[in-house]
Amino acid sequence: MIERELRASQVDVVVSTSALELGVDIGSLDVSVLNGYPGTVAATWQRLGRAGRRNRPSLGVLVASSAPIDQYIVRHPEFFLGRSPEQARIHPDQLLILMDHVRCAAFELPFQDGEIFGAEDLSEMLSYLRDQGLLQYQSGRWYWIADSYPANAVSLRSVTEGNFVVIDIDAGKQTIIAEVDYSSAPGTLYESAIYMVQSQPYQVESLDWTGRKAFVRKTRADYYTDAIDYTRLKILDFFDERCAEQAASRHGEVHLVRRYPGYKKIRYYSHDNIGYGNIHLPDQEMHTTAVWWQVHPVALAQALPQRERAIEGFLGAAYALHHVAALRVMAEVSDLGRAVGDGQGTWFAAVGQDGRGQLRGPDNEPVAIPVGGHFEPTLFLYDNYPGGVGLSEPLYRETHALIADAEALVAACECNGGCPACVGPILPGDEQLEQSPKAVARLVLGLLGGVGA
């Protein structure tokens, strides 16, 4: 109806989500105003292009939010204006993705012995599907025999199976109001979490982990919730490395264990932290690919003799890198993860309840920052999907440009000692430190900048 009224010039302005971005012909609009950077060059042009059809002049306005990506874009408009739209990153031979495709292909037509899919030899995969009861092998051909229609189980948005459903239990009824993919569920659907559906806050009353259901009710709470995330990474293997005098960068495979020990309650508008709650959920584990950077211990000790400040510097650098990396690979910030640890799972750094960077050991218990001995913090950016979908390899390849982007983001930020638009939230008074969070993050980025030059 809105579309019809727009075309008939009966409405002047439409406020919309990304729903109007694609596929709807909304006729002759003059101005489009974007509330925040849509996240990709392609989506930005798509939305700006909603105005000025049929060769008419038009105006496009981008109102930047305080998010690091938005701040980066407005300070570096050439990043947006000078680039062709990104290439979406997906690795078609990734095991889980390939398996889905092979399932769907086998449903349509039987595979023959020796047939390949892309460059992959399929014999092992077809045998696996036979063992699962999906295929039958008969005189050189693999026939689909299962009752199911495999494409139904393939999500175009994520590689994990088994979404959680969000069920509104108000007024004694049960209404499904949303679906959340498996990997996002533990951080968003824990008991007492505030979950937003179309800007209406709901509170999770209970979570049925095995049944993949979250039961929610509308709430009038004046806060939202933010899960505390403890992520430990262990390096399993690396595929490639680049070493410079002061630092090195590697690309490889990691094992990840994530726990959400609790959540923060944060008041709307003021963003004050007004309380905490506990989360009781099993640890999440996955194998994925990552890119990581390490600074030579001697170089680090020279640049940042206080290890506490060094940890702060790594956390701030990771925050900035994470945001510019998402921009580079056309991903959402949540498609990538970041972590700082020693790479062996002995300790990892997290921001504690007091807002300070602290170290935690293998069982997530707080541990002291080691005095003396080998100290080599590792900064990870990892592909936040089981098996990895191909996001970390280009980050490794473009490590030099990536570090330069992060340095530019932090350097151009107008804050004094650090803020959520560059190195992450900082504690009041920290900007007065001789080495502010922003200064130490810049030192770390400077050390990493030598890699891949």
Element (H, E) at 237: strand 223-243
**Least separation, in Å, of the C-beta of 442 and Zn ion?**
11
**Least separation, in Å, of the C-beta of 318 and Zn ion?**
15
Rg of the chain over all Cα atoms, to the nearest angstrom: 24
**Least separation, in Å, of the C-beta of 376 and Zn ion?**
27
**Least separation, in Å, of the C-beta of 353 and Zn ion?**
23
- Rounded-to-integer distance, Cα 424 and Cα 105, Å: 45
**Least separation, in Å, of the C-beta of 416 and Zn ion?**
8
**Least separation, in Å, of the C-beta of 413 and Zn ion?**
3
Q: Decide whether 422 or 445 has the Cβ nearer to Zn ion.
A: 422
Residue 108: how many CB atoms within 10 A of its CB? Answer: 9
Q: Which residues pair with 60 in a beta bridge?
A: 32
Residues that bind Zn ion (CB under 5 A): 413, 415, 419, 421-422
Q: Cβ distance 392 to 386 under 8 Å?
A: no
**Which burial class, exposed, middle or buried, applies to 422 when counting CB atoms under 10 A from its CB (0-12, 13-18, 19+)?**
buried
Q: Decide whether 39 or 68 has the Cβ nearer to Zn ion.
A: 68
Q: Which residues contact 329 (CB under 8 A, 6 or more apart)?
A: 86, 89, 335, 336, 391, 394, 395
Q: Decide whether 341 or 357 has the Cβ nearer to Zn ion.
A: 357
Helix ranges, 22-177 (H): 41-48, 68-75, 77-81, 95-108, 123-131
Q: Decide whether 150 or 417 has the Cβ nearer to Zn ion.
A: 417
- Rounded-to-integer distance, Cα 179 and Cα 8, Å: 36
Q: Decide whether 67 or 266 has the Cβ nearer to Zn ion.
A: 67
What single letter denotes the amino acid at residue 106?
A
Q: Decide whether 413 or 439 has the Cβ nearer to Zn ion.
A: 413
Q: Decide whether 335 or 431 has the Cβ nearer to Zn ion.
A: 431
**Least separation, in Å, of the C-beta of 72 and Zn ion?**
11
Start-to-end C-alpha separation, the chain = 55
DSSP per-residue string spanning 25-60: ----B-EEEEES--SSHHHHHHHHTTBS-TT---EE
**Hey, what are 265's tokens?**
């309650």
Q: Decide whether 75 or 213 has the Cβ nearer to Zn ion.
A: 75
Q: How far apart, in Å, are the Cα atoms of 177 and each of 173, 174, 184, 187, 188?
A: 12, 9, 16, 18, 15
**Mutual angle of helices 68-75 and 307-328, in 10-degree steps:** 70
Q: Decide whether 314 or 347 has the Cβ nearer to Zn ion.
A: 314
Q: Decide whether 291 or 410 has the Cβ nearer to Zn ion.
A: 410
- Rounded-to-integer distance, Cα 124 and Cα 15, Å: 51
Question: Which three-class secondary structure state does DSSP give residue 167?
Answer: strand
**Least separation, in Å, of the C-beta of 227 and Zn ion?**
24
**Least separation, in Å, of the C-beta of 208 and Zn ion?**
41
**Least separation, in Å, of the C-beta of 422 and Zn ion?**
3
Q: Which residues pair with 155 in a beta bridge?
A: none
